[in-house]
Amino acid sequence: MSNYVIFTDSACDISPELLKEWNVQYLNLSFKFTDSDIEQTNESVPIGQFYNAMRDGKVAKTSAISVGAFKEAFEKILKTGKDILYIAFSSGLSTTYNSAVIAAEDLKDEYKDNKIICVDTLSASAGFGLLLKMVVDKANEGADIDTAAEYALNLRENLCHWFTVDDLVYLKRGGRISPTVAFVGGILGVKPVLHMDNEGHLINKFKVRGRKAAIAALADQYEKKAKVVLGGKVFISHGDCIDDANLLAKILKEKYNVTTELITYVGAVIGAHSGPGTLALFFVGKER
């Protein structure tokens, strides 16, 4: 991809070190706790500290990337003569993608000989990260910018996001479930199993009783939905519950000979909405 740069944002929950290794540039979404005026990013606070603050009752509010920030970052690349393929956080969850589109439109007259292609992944966290990695691999195989962009658009229709949360209060705050459902679920120990639909929205699919059942249900969805079941490509992300992530990886290995390629934290910006104890499984499916 010598004539174009792959660009992304921090909602992919891929570490800065890995993004550098993949030769991907990025911008950070931000958050701040409601009792503070300090804007922070995934990189500015230790992730364990962030989740402990949430467990102690702190509430975090998140902010999208601005048009101005995109224009500044994009222009630095365009001045080098390179095109840009921006792989973006779901427009169903953030205005970040729309900000990038506006920035690209504002720059097109000045940089008429360059392309800025913005791809809405309709994905989040390490599901977004998995799609990004597959696009990087495609580019490294020699795909030009248009081929890589088309590949990303086609892939997003099959990028499965299945996840569960440990405490329903965070989904209640975000309006994903009603206060009544959250209250009753907390008493009964009910755990929701959710996925991301074709529009990039979080959808509550069904409920199970207890955490172990929820973890097993994620593995079951892999068996039902994966395009390649035996030995498929899998990423897992977690909200400060590494033991549960390792257990899910162990189940996938034992049942389907799947070696999980990446286990990563749900970053603070995504975790602000899902909370500590979130566990998510991502893979390429026959459909979402």
The tokens 């995504």 sit on which residue? 270
pTM of the model: 0.93
The tokens 């920035």 sit on which residue? 103
CATH number of residue 266's parent domain: 3.30.1180.10
pLDDT at position 170: 73
pLDDT at position 232: 85
Residues 82 and 166 both lie in one domain: no
Please spell the DSSP secondary structure of 8-72, one letter per residue.
EEGGG---HHHHHHTTEEEE--EEEETT----B-TTTS-HHHHHHHHHTT--EEEEPPPHHHHHH
Single out the residue in 133, 156, 179 at which a domain terminates.
Answer: 156
On whether the CB atoms of residues 211 and 247 are closer than 8 A, the answer is no
pLDDT at position 183: 47
Residues 173 and 150 both lie in one domain: no
43 within a domain of the structure (yes/no): no
Compute mean pLDDT per 10 residues along the chain, 288 residues long, and list them: 91 98 98 94 95 94 97 98 98 96 97 97 97 98 97 96 85 58 54 89 86 96 94 94 98 95 97 94 95
pLDDT at position 167: 75
Single out the residue in 156, 191, 210 at which a domain terminates.
Answer: 156
| CA-based torsion, 15, 18, 22, 23: positive or negative | positive
Tokens for 31? 């958050």
Residues 69 and 126 both lie in one domain: yes
Residues 199 and 100 both lie in one domain: no
Residues 74 and 87 both lie in one domain: yes
Tally of structural domains, the chain: 2
CATH number of residue 113's parent domain: 3.40.50.10440
35 within a domain of the structure (yes/no): no
16 within a domain of the structure (yes/no): yes
